[in-house]
Amino acid sequence: MSSAPRPGAAQQRLTSSGRGRRSGYLLGLILLRGAAWADASDAAAQRSALAAVETYVSAMRAGDAAAAAAVLHPDYRVTSWQSAGGERHLFLHTRAGELAAISKLKPGEWEVRLLRTRVAIDPNGMANVWAKYEFYSFGRLEHCGFESYELFRTPQGWRIIDFSDTDTPVAQAAASRTCEG
């Protein structure tokens, strides 16, 4: 037997490898299309989680405890790393305490302005909204820093379970320097 290739073998190899390349190309397109769908769904989840945070911020501005309660998980808690006189201390608050404080507000007495946000979503239904913020009390810039909202996707939608912030007081003369970044 000769070790020479049989006639047409080279043609078969080219056709087979060409088919392999086409199949790989098609598989790549399908996977990319799937990734685009995943990205679109992830983007929708990010918008939805951010919308829950924006609902909470709007409810606070309006002094609407019922609207705030609608997006807060029953086990919601507040952790604030506050500065007073150059020293930081931890301030903790409960859902009931937060809602009681919101219910005493008149519209516009508290206003949180989210300057920049970043949203991260876990495919299992957890989200984090990280925001650079400014807090106004009675129309005056009082403090600024960063906020972090932890959310879980429940059958009723996204619910905020945890809120943390770095509360940096603002001396009005130094507001632009204190809140930059």
What is the pLDDT at residue 34? 40
Q: Which domain holds residue 87?
A: 44-178
Q: What is the pLDDT of residues 100-131, one digit of tens each?
A: 999 999 999 999 999 999 999 999 999 999 99
Q: What is the pLDDT of residues 70-93, one digit of tens each?
A: 999 999 999 999 887 778 899 999
What is the pLDDT at residue 179? 77
Q: What is the average pLDDT score of the chain?
A: 81
What is the pLDDT at residue 177? 64
Q: What is the pLDDT of residues 137-164, one digit of tens each?
A: 999 999 999 999 999 999 999 999 999 9
CATH number at residue 127: 3.10.450.50
In a domain? residue 34: no
In a domain? residue 24: no
In a domain? residue 31: no
Q: Percent of the chain, pLDDT > 90? A: 63
Q: Give the count of alpha carbons within 13 A of 109, CB side only.
A: 10
In a domain? residue 64: yes
Spell out the residues 6+ positions from residue 57 whose beta carbon is closer than 8 angstroms to its own: 112, 114
- What is the 3-class SS of 82-126, one letter each residue? EEECCEEEEEEEEHHHHHHHHHCCCCCCEEEEEEEEEEEEECCCE
What is the pLDDT at residue 170? 86
In a domain? residue 54: yes
What is the pLDDT at residue 27? 41
Number of structural domains (the chain) is 1
What is the pLDDT at residue 80? 93
